[in-house]
Chain A
Amino acid sequence: MLRYIARRLLGVIPVLFGLSIVLFAFVHLLPGDPAVALLGQHATPERTAAIRELLGLDKPLHEQYLLYLSDILRGDFGKSVIDNRLVVDEFLLRFPGTVELTVAALIFAVGIGIPLGRLAARHVQGWPDGAVTVVSLLGVSIPIFVLGLTLQVIFAVKLKWLPASGRIDPRLGIDAVTNFMLLDTLLAGKPAAFVDALKHLVLPAIALGSIPLAIVTRITRAAVLDVANEDYVRTARAKGLKERRVDDRHIMRNAWLPVTTVIGLQVGGLLAGAVITETVFAWNGVGAWVVDAIQNHDYLVVQNAILLFALIFIVVNLVVDIGYAYLNPRIRYS
């Protein structure tokens, strides 16, 4: 197993190398100019040229790429053109926010999706199955930003049950220690702030989790139906086992495998969906940061934040693969 993990980790290097080329090319092919973004309406051709020179943007592209690569290899991920903050510092500051949101969305998607999928499978072709199908369809077809703004209007603006944006009410004065807001509220010893942070998570988690919810529901339904037709399930029932026991021990244990794989894949989707969700909910995470950076043509932030994002996605995939082996004793990597 250790050798497998080591090999997978080594495999990350060429992937990141390739990605760095794609990212560099993509960012430099985008229309626009960080110098103009920095200067705004104060830009004149002369000042723009001076800043391009200062940033090294006047050099040939291949030279710029080699400089970029050597910086990364030295662990220097650069700084923002706009606010001068180091990319790594900013990433570490914002990543906990994205993790918190992603995990909450995953809990929402899995916690609701699996029971819904099981319900639909149990009543296949019945009205619960139809209702679940409609929910799934809505989940995958409503764009996140539409759903997000709609949820805000209904639950925050009209009903005032939940906050519309942010990670916590700033009036509560919670010090950022770990930048995991739930953890920071507990460290501050303020249960009311913990509840407030939880409330802030609800709407963005639902908006972000809507697509994975639909997918997890459909996959669970399909997996359960698939397994339910196996001989050993029929045998279990013939033995006189109670339906619940058949469900838990014989159907779900086997249906878990495809469901787990899909959940793992959803993590990548969630990280990407967080880009939109964070913007709509003014959520201080990596996604909102990268969107701002793209608009400002803050090229180093875009390149390196996405590179770090990708690295994490790769690690998550690896963890899922290892979890897969753990869940299915028949699978062993060598």
Chain B
Amino acid sequence: MVRTKVGSALAVLALVFAACTPGASPTPGSPGTSPGTSPTGGAPSPTSAVKEGGTLVVALPGDMTAADPSFVSDSNSSYIHLNVVEGLLGTKPGSISEIEPVLAAEMPTVSDDLLTYTFKLREGIKFHDGEPFNAEAVVYNYERQLNAPEPLRDNYNYYFGAVFGGFAEKSNLASVTAIDATTVEFKLKQPQSNFLISQAPLPQFGIQSPKALKAGDADNPDPAKSPYAQGKGTGLVGTGPFKFKEWVPNDHVTIVKNEDYWNAAAKAHLDEVIFKPYADQTAEFNALQSGDIDMAQTILPNDAQSLEGNAEFQVFDRGDSCNVAVLQMNHTHKPLDNKDVRFAIAHALNKQAYIDAFYAGQAVPADNWMPPATQYYKALNLPTYDEAKAKEYITKSGLSGADLTIEFWYPADVSRPYMPDPKALAEAIATDLEKVGFTINFKTAGWRTGYLRDEAVGKFPMWLLGWTCDWAGPDNFLSTAFFHGDGGKPNKEFAYGPPELLSAFDKGLAAPTEADVKAAWEEAQDILARDLPTVPLVHSRPPAAGKAFIKGFVGAGNLNEALNTVWLDK
């Protein structure tokens, strides 16, 4: 990261001078409800020991981009928003795929044709501006996204279009209707198995005060002119345990305790939380150690390892992973069109060694393109590290010598949660591949200055990339992230997508019964295991770190971490 920043800085210098489990738990972040998380030293403590008050300073990798969740698709903004704005549903604290009602009083009833979802709402809840939360507010929030002005669609308002397949008449969401003050009915045009699981973790589907949205001109086609989106005197008016206080761009965002939070048992312990952006990870780590910040939402695995044994700090475990790193391949490039070659590659890779070297042990070898806690996951028994078998597959492929030369791309200037050090990982993979007979030619490109653009159109034969979940459903990994078709044909990125796979994706999303949905997604996974179009590498748990006095933090692999449970033992 330092290298990247300084590189850009030098450019300026030059210029200047020339899953659905009905739940009873009522709120995100309820203490002690996390089955899947075991924060190191920060485990939820008995209520009697909790100390109230104080300020927590949290470093994020970047700044918030808008004070309206509907307009953001970055994880930094969402990390702040989910503390302030709540949706009808949420994921259970510490879980990535278990859903529970939040502003809904219970899980919705679903019609037999899977087209109508009816939500009963909690009563007596007020927005931070004192306005009542009710069915009308839910309808207003969904309709403003459904009918968003053209310039706001897709580019700013990504998730609505992605989940419902478009806006207005193109959307699979036919209508949202207030049946009475506490009942809302959602009608879909065709069944959509990801409807609930996509709504739960995303603050983009949170409910904000209609009055505040209108007063802040939140739907102005130019978000620059919307005081609400810009957080100028208004913005982020939800129902959550924290209220939005201020946003000083590129400096900090402050949220404060909501004293009138509707769920008294889950009121925030902290007086306020200040989020500070740190573009440079070394500077962030120094700031943590010097006491400038109390907690870093994301740190490099090796930095986390260096804090082990230091009583002043703790490293937070995030429980179930919600990502995957993949050795990607495009089948228009030889020899990657050869299935035996792909199996040879998979057998050549020592995934555990990569985890030990580059993830500080905070990852598991991948046996699927989606992590184990995802809906409908099944173990696929993909090829594991075995050099002899790798060589057998090479022999079987009938290829040798120059035919086994592969161009291998990695991003030069980025660190992602699923690949903290792409260059080192690429080198280790190349070493393993050369051991069994491949010849690797390295190539590199800037993440945003060519890498993402070129891999998407199939220019790279083999490259490193992965995915962090938007929601923990199979569609989000298998289809959205990777093998979605392009007009019924394989996409250019991988040039892989047999008709039966694309058909399984369609069935998995729109099948008429739960059993059919499950069968379709399992079929899709089996097809992928059969063909091994790419090689999943690892599922990582990107670590967070903080001062030892932070208690009650509940980490989650999807970063859905409400901070209302956190308190300071000092």
Chain A contact residues, CB within 8 Å of chain B: 22-23, 26, 30-33, 36-45, 47-48, 50-51, 54, 79, 82-86, 90, 93-94, 143, 145, 149, 152-153, 156-157, 160, 163-167, 169-171, 176, 268, 271-273, 275-276, 279-282, 284, 287-292, 294-297, 306, 309-310, 313
5 contacts across the A-B interface (CB closer than 8 A): A40-B74, A82-B65, A84-B229, A294-B11, A296-B448
Stretch at the interface among B179-187, B286-294, B382-390: B286-294
CB distance from B160 to the nearest CB of A (A): 13
With A42-B158, A83-B65, A276-B9 in contact, is A31–B450 under 8 Å at CB?
yes
Chain B residues near A171 (CB-CB < 8 A): 55, 57, 274
CB distance from B362 to the nearest CB of A (A): 21
Pair A152/B283 contact, Cβ less than 8 Å: yes
The reply on B467 being an interface residue by CB < 8 A is yes
Q: Determine which of B17, B279, B481 lies in contact with A282 in the assembled complex, contact meaning CB atoms within 8 Å.
A: B279
Nearest B residue to A281 by beta-carbon distance? B283
Nearest A residue to B153 by beta-carbon distance? A50
Considering the chains assembled together, what is the distance between the CA atoms of A195 and B223 in angstroms?
38
Chain B residues near A83 (CB-CB < 8 A): 63, 65-66, 249
Nearest B residue to A22 by beta-carbon distance? B18
Chain A residues near B446 (CB-CB < 8 A): 31-32
Chain A residues near B11 (CB-CB < 8 A): 294
Q: Determine which of B15, B248, B492 lies in contact with A26 in the assembled complex, contact meaning CB atoms within 8 Å.
A: B15
Chain B residues near A85 (CB-CB < 8 A): 224, 230, 249
The reply on B8 being an interface residue by CB < 8 A is yes
The reply on B311 being an interface residue by CB < 8 A is no
The reply on B318 being an interface residue by CB < 8 A is no
Give the interface residue-count category, chain B.
35 or more
User: Residue among B11, B251, B274 with the most chain A CB within 10 A?
Assistant: B251
Chain B residues near A284 (CB-CB < 8 A): 248, 250-251
CB distance from B170 to the nearest CB of A (A): 13
CB distance from A130 to the nearest CB of B (A): 31
Pair B290/A157 contact, Cβ less than 8 Å: yes
Pair B12/A287 contact, Cβ less than 8 Å: yes
Chain A residues near B395 (CB-CB < 8 A): none
Considering the chains assembled together, what is the distance between the CA atoms of A330 and B290 in angstroms?
53
Nearest B residue to A162 by beta-carbon distance? B290
With A44-B456, A164-B290 in contact, is A145–B250 under 8 Å at CB?
no
User: Residue among B65, B249, B278 with the most chain A CB within 10 A?
Assistant: B249
CB distance from B382 to the nearest CB of A (A): 23
Pair B449/A84 contact, Cβ less than 8 Å: no
Considering the chains assembled together, what is the distance between the CA atoms of A121 and B74 in angstroms?
57
Give the contacts of B245-286 with A (CB-CB under 8 A): 248-252, 254, 274, 276-280, 282-284, 286
CB distance from A44 to the nearest CB of B (A): 7
Considering the chains assembled together, what is the distance between the CA atoms of A82 and B77 in angstroms?
12
Considering the chains assembled together, what is the distance between the CA atoms of A79 and B155 in angstroms?
15
Pair A145/B2 contact, Cβ less than 8 Å: yes
Pair A156/B250 contact, Cβ less than 8 Å: no
With A164-B283, A171-B55, A171-B274 in contact, is A90–B292 under 8 Å at CB?
no
Pair A166/B292 contact, Cβ less than 8 Å: yes
Pair A79/B224 contact, Cβ less than 8 Å: yes
Chain B residues near A296 (CB-CB < 8 A): 448
Pair A43/B456 contact, Cβ less than 8 Å: yes
Chain A residues near B289 (CB-CB < 8 A): 156-157, 164
Pair B452/A36 contact, Cβ less than 8 Å: yes
Chain A residues near B274 (CB-CB < 8 A): 170-171
CB distance from A109 to the nearest CB of B (A): 18
User: Per-position contact with A for B220-254: 1 when CB-CB < 8 Å, else 0?
Assistant: 00111000011000000000000000001111101
The reply on B6 being an interface residue by CB < 8 A is yes
Q: Determine which of A43, A271, A280, A297 lies in contact with B283 in the assembled complex, contact meaning CB atoms within 8 Å.
A: A280
The reply on B488 being an interface residue by CB < 8 A is no
Chain A residues near B222 (CB-CB < 8 A): 79, 84
13 new A-B contacts at CB < 8 Å, known A31-B446, A93-B248, A306-B16: A26-B15, A36-B448, A50-B155, A84-B229, A86-B224, A93-B249, A160-B290, A163-B290, A275-B12, A282-B276, A282-B277, A282-B284, A284-B251
Nearest A residue to B18 by beta-carbon distance? A22
Nearest A residue to B2 by beta-carbon distance? A145
The reply on B215 being an interface residue by CB < 8 A is no
The reply on B24 being an interface residue by CB < 8 A is no
With A32-B446, A166-B292 in contact, is A45–B249 under 8 Å at CB?
no
The 9 closest A-B pairs by CB, nearest first: A32-B449, A156-B290, A164-B290, A84-B223, A294-B8, A284-B251, A31-B449, A152-B286, A276-B9
CB distance from B204 to the nearest CB of A (A): 12
The reply on B515 being an interface residue by CB < 8 A is no
With A275-B9, A284-B248, A287-B9 in contact, is A37–B290 under 8 Å at CB?
no
Chain A residues near B467 (CB-CB < 8 A): 41
The reply on B4 being an interface residue by CB < 8 A is yes
Considering the chains assembled together, what is the distance between the CA atoms of A40 and B287 in angstroms?
28
Pair A170/B18 contact, Cβ less than 8 Å: no
The reply on B53 being an interface residue by CB < 8 A is no
With A42-B73, A149-B2, A166-B292 in contact, is A282–B287 under 8 Å at CB?
yes
Considering the chains assembled together, what is the distance between the CA atoms of A279 and B1 in angstroms?
11
The reply on B457 being an interface residue by CB < 8 A is yes
Pair A280/B292 contact, Cβ less than 8 Å: no
User: Per-position contact with A for B12-39: 1 when CB-CB < 8 Å, else 0?
Assistant: 1101111000000000000000000000
Considering the chains assembled together, what is the distance between the CA atoms of A94 and B251 in angstroms?
10
Considering the chains assembled together, what is the distance between the CA atoms of A145 and B5 in angstroms?
10
Nearest B residue to A40 by beta-carbon distance? B452
With A47-B154, A149-B282, A166-B287 in contact, is A306–B57 under 8 Å at CB?
no
Q: Determine which of B16, B151, B283, B465 lies in contact with A272 in the assembled complex, contact meaning CB atoms within 8 Å.
A: B16
Chain A residues near B155 (CB-CB < 8 A): 38-39, 47, 50-51, 54
Considering the chains assembled together, what is the distance between the CA atoms of A169 and B158 in angstroms?
35
CB distance from B21 to the nearest CB of A (A): 28
Pair A176/B230 contact, Cβ less than 8 Å: no
User: Residue among B250, B274, B449, B465 with the most chain A CB within 10 A?
Assistant: B250
Chain B residues near A84 (CB-CB < 8 A): 65-66, 156, 222-224, 229-230
The reply on B334 being an interface residue by CB < 8 A is no
Pair B280/A282 contact, Cβ less than 8 Å: yes
Pair A166/B276 contact, Cβ less than 8 Å: yes
Considering the chains assembled together, what is the distance between the CA atoms of A33 and B450 in angstroms?
8
Pair B65/A313 contact, Cβ less than 8 Å: no
Chain A residues near B452 (CB-CB < 8 A): 36, 40-41, 43
The reply on B453 being an interface residue by CB < 8 A is yes
Considering the chains assembled together, what is the distance between the CA atoms of A272 and B12 in angstroms?
7
CB distance from A27 to the nearest CB of B (A): 9
User: Per-position contact with A for B38-82: 1 when CB-CB < 8 Å, else 0?
Assistant: 000000000000000001010000110110000001100000000
Nearest B residue to A87 by beta-carbon distance? B224
The reply on B357 being an interface residue by CB < 8 A is no
The reply on B353 being an interface residue by CB < 8 A is no
With A45-B492, A79-B224, A280-B280 in contact, is A50–B448 under 8 Å at CB?
no
The reply on B162 being an interface residue by CB < 8 A is yes
Pair A310/B16 contact, Cβ less than 8 Å: yes
Considering the chains assembled together, what is the distance between the CA atoms of A306 and B8 in angstroms?
13
Q: Determine which of A38, A272, A291 lies in contact with B5 in the assembled complex, contact meaning CB atoms within 8 Å.
A: A291
Considering the chains assembled together, what is the distance between the CA atoms of A208 and B393 in angstroms?
58
User: Per-position contact with A for B324-367: 1 when CB-CB < 8 Å, else 0?
Assistant: 00000000000000000000000000000000000000000000
Nearest B residue to A31 by beta-carbon distance? B449
Nearest A residue to B251 by beta-carbon distance? A284
Chain A residues near B224 (CB-CB < 8 A): 79, 84-86
With A83-B66, A282-B278 in contact, is A288–B448 under 8 Å at CB?
no
Chain B residues near A31 (CB-CB < 8 A): 445-446, 449-450
